[in-house]
Amino acid sequence: MASLTANSTIGDWLDDPRGAEALGGLLAASGSDPSSLTPVRALPLQQMVALSQGEMPQSVIDGLVRSVNGGEIPEDDAATGWQETIVVGRFDGKTIVVTGAASGIGQATASRIAREGGKVVAVDISAEKLEAFAQQAPAGSVVPVAADVTNEGDIDRVIAAVGGPIDGLANVAGVNDDFSPIHETSDAIWDRVIGINLTGVFKLTRAVVPGMLEAGKGAIVNVASEAGIRGNASGKAYTVSKHGVVGLTRSAAFMYAKQGIRVNAVAPGGVATGIPFPAHVSEEGSARLHPFQSAIPTVATAAQLAASITFLLSDDGVNINGAILPSDGGWSVQ
Ligand code: NAD
């Protein structure tokens, strides 16, 4: 029988008697059970670290792997589940600005573009994580620019760092809200979430479009959310911000359709990233949302979202403009 490793899917672990016992024990200790893992069965066990949003250290995964392999961590380079397939040269000669590039979906998108031949101007407010990402990318492929997408001066620095034509823009940076309904939503949460998720997208896009108009071409992909197309996926501020991103996408797609600029959005469902929640989460809002959020059919990896985003950014998206592409394992049709 093949060894269970961190690369084995959660489904493989649950279907194996030793794996089910080890994983079941871990879940029971936190008052949960294996049915809670149904949406993530297709993900490698390793993704539980990202999914736990800082709660589960790597040592827990290592401990699980050891517990079913006689105390050892077996060699395993045969990953299971979906594998990213690089399209060699798809972004050759292109310069793409990617925000939120220090983490999660933005980093997976930036990484894929760089590995497919593009030059990435990688933008994030987290300078340290951005630098670490740029260091391990193919030499010269990633230009890190530590910047806050809500700050005009920072946006000017991003444009200056590009220093030439911009072929594509992926607006990925975003933050969660606190799941609050409107009567509980503070000005601080509203201003932060609308500021980063919507105004930041507006401001950076406004700065990039003139160059694209001059060139007569360009592709922009905004990251919306399931919360941009329904009312029961998140709190007030996040839902409004992502509906705003959908409106911004459609309006820009219409306005520039005859000038060679395509503007689309990807609406992710659940994705295993480290996107943090604010310190205080609304109890009332969480309770109301819980049954709907727990109906998420699948949770994706950041690389799976990057596959959708890079498709729309690349010339393969040639005939697509103004689309809001759910990348959610089918959640949006439920
Ligand atoms: P993440 O937290 O892993 O990455 C977001 C990045 O944005 C971080 O590196 C953060 O530093 C950066 N950022 C935050 N504020 C910024 C600012 N003002 N300026 C520049 N950078 C800033 O989160 P993620 O899950 O990869 O989220 C990426 C996008 O996907 C977000 O727009 C999010 O709303 C959207 N999304 C995520 C999920 C999910 O389940 N993870 C679902 C739907 C939509």
Same domain, 267 and 166: yes
Q: Are residues 149 and 230 in the same domain?
A: yes
- Helix ranges (H only) for 30-170 are 48-51, 58-67, 104-115, 127-136, 152-162
- Provide the residue range defining the domain that includes 101: 95-333
Residues paired with 123 in a beta bridge: 99, 145
Q: At what angle do helices 17-29 and 58-67 cross, to 10 degrees?
A: 140
Task: Answer left, alpha or beta for residue 122, where phi above 0 means left and psi between -120 and 50 means alpha.
Answer: beta
Which residue matches tokens 């520039």?
256
Domain count, the chain: 2
Count of residues in the chain? 334
| 296 and 147 housed in the same domain | yes
Residues 61 and 128 reside in one and the same domain: no
To test the pocket of ligand 1, the residue of 98, 103, 133, 324 to mutate (highest count of ligand atoms within 8 Å of its CB) is 103
* Residue 51 CA, ligand 1 centroid: distance in Å: 14
> Could you tell me if 172 and 313 lie in one domain?
yes
Q: Is 256 a catalytic residue?
A: no
Let me know if residue 2 belongs to a domain. no
DSSP state for residue 278 in the 8-state scheme: P
CB atoms closer than 10 angstroms to residue 289: 18
Ligand 1: distance of its center to the CA of 320 in Å?
Answer: 24
Q: Angle at Cα 97 formed by Cα 91 and Cα 101, nearest 5°?
A: 100
Residues 28, 123 within the same domain: no
Asked if residue 267 and residue 158 are part of one domain, the reply reads yes
| 107 Cα–ligand 1 center, Å | 10
- Assess whether 267 and 170 both reside in one domain: yes
Residue 55, pLDDT score: 81
Ligand 1 atom with least separation from CA of 271: 40
Measured CA to CA in angstroms, residue 147 lies from 110, 196, 224, 271 at distances of: 16, 12, 20, 24
Task: Exactly one of 238, 256, 311, 331 is catalytic; name it.
Answer: 238
Residue type, 105: I
Per-residue confidence in pLDDT tens, the chain, 334 aa: 578 999 999 999 999 999 999 999 988 988 888 888 888 888 889 888 877 767 889 999 999 999 999 999 988 766 667 889 999 999 999 999 999 999 999 999 999 999 999 999 999 999 999 999 999 999 999 999 999 999 999 999 999 999 899 999 999 999 999 999 999 999 999 999 999 999 999 999 999 999 999 999 999 999 999 999 999 999 999 999 999 999 999 999 999 999 999 999 999 999 988 888 888 999 999 999 999 988 888 899 999 999 999 999 999 999 999 999 999 999 999 8
- Domain assignment of residue 79, yes or no: no
**What pLDDT was estimated at residue 275?**
84
Report CA 110 to chain centroid distance, whole Å: 11
What DSSP state is assigned to residue 328? Answer: S
What pLDDT is attached to residue 1? 58
Ligand 1 atom closest to 148 (CA): 19
